[in-house]
Structure 1
Amino acid sequence: MAGFVYRKNRVPEYQALFQKHDGVRQWWKTPRSPFIMYPYYAMLWTGFAGSMYMMGRTVLGHKTWFSEG
């Protein structure tokens, strides 16, 4: 049960990583960043595209996602 209390302090490593001026955004600097950012971008653009699609349908008088036929 001593794994959490006596583990290595990685704060200096992360501080050096995040303060390094290498032209990379902060949210892309860790190895886990792609696993977080790609699903985020997919949801962001899917939501934006869905909003634009439904806005266009609403302007044309349709209230549902699909045709009313």
Structure 2
Amino acid sequence: MIGLEQPSVHRDHATGLRIHKLLLGAECHIVEGLDLSRVGPGPLNVTCLPLKPAGADGAPVRAIASTDGR
């Protein structure tokens, strides 16, 4: 999984499609538009709870991050 604050992994449509296909082809989930303002550095456990609209190829998620307590 790759998670980022930006609304997309690409800057333009053509580049973006290549990046999306590369990541998804490697079975890497893409989580865009995260609010990481309250997340500190270090390892995290991340859970994404998706809402899957019928017929869609993507879905909004509620992303939950937690530390392992170390």
Q: TM-score, normalised by structure 1?
A: 0.27
Higher relative contact order (CA 8 A, sep 6+): 2
Q: TM-score, normalised by structure 2?
A: 0.27
Larger Rg: 1
Higher strand share: 2
Higher helix share: 1
